[in-house]
Amino acid sequence: MVIGLTGGIASGKSTVSAMLRHRGAIIVDADLIAREVVKKGNPAWEKIIQHFGQEVLDVNHEIERKRLGEIIFSDPEKRRILNGIVHPYVREEMEKQKKEGQAQGKLVVLDIPLLIESNLFHMVDQVVLVYVPKSVQLVRLMERNQLSEEEALARIHSQMPLDEKKKWADFIIYNDGSKEETERQIDHLLFQLFGGAKEFAKDSK
């Protein structure tokens, strides 16, 4: 079984991913892989410099993620270019790690923020969405990244709304309550994976 775990910025997807790892799942983290493939000297690093220039590098000639983020979050075309550079390398490594996990007979979770936007349904058996209301998403992002409301909204609006993503999900975990509520939903998810449950509410027992 391969689960595709997705959500939105500041929805708490990493928290859910950690809970699944604690329960024995193998997590294949797209963000972590993306950080690796753009390290200095790698093909993606070279292509990013070609398109975005030396100004996106720090003093060690590594990609300065904050600076690059400022460029792409305000320009959809530049974001498309960056995704076109990075995503093929990320997917190649994800497929490799997925096969390794399947060979071990484990539950494999592909943690992919842009799973729906990138139409990667073919990579997974079930799609699990981590959901929070936009108001919660905004407050969490402002606090976590020390952003103004305008900056946080720009990042949120650069992604498909979580309410839209609901339409594509096989399961939804509501992550705007307590840690215990989220834990309970994950346990229910693991119990229901082969039972066909579509969506479970925060008060599921």
Q: Which of 196, 174, 176, 195 is nearest to 186 (CA)?
A: 174
Cross-strand bridge partners of residue 26: 108
Distance CA 163, CA 113 (A): 15
pTM, full prediction = 0.84
Domains and CATH numbers, the chain: 1-25+107-205 (3.40.50.300), 37-93 (no CATH)
Report which of 144, 205, 146, 140 is spatially closest to residue 176, judged by C-alpha positions. Answer: 140
CA atoms within 13 A on the CB side of 17: 21
As a whole number of angstroms, the distance between CA 82 and CA 51 comes to 8
CA geometry: angle 42, 116, 184, nearest 5 deg: 105
- Sheet of 126-131, strand order: 26-29, 108-111, 2-6, 126-131, 171-174
Per-residue tens of pLDDT for the chain, all 205 residues: 899 999 999 999 999 999 999 999 999 999 999 999 999 999 999 999 999 999 999 999 999 998 998 898 878 899 999 999 999 999 999 999 999 999 998 899 999 999 999 899 999 999 999 999 999 999 999 999 999 999 999 889 989 999 999 999 999 999 999 999 999 999 999 998 855 434 433 333 3
User: What is the model's pLDDT at position 197?
Assistant: 39
Nearest partner of 182 among 4, 13, 8, judged by Cα: 13
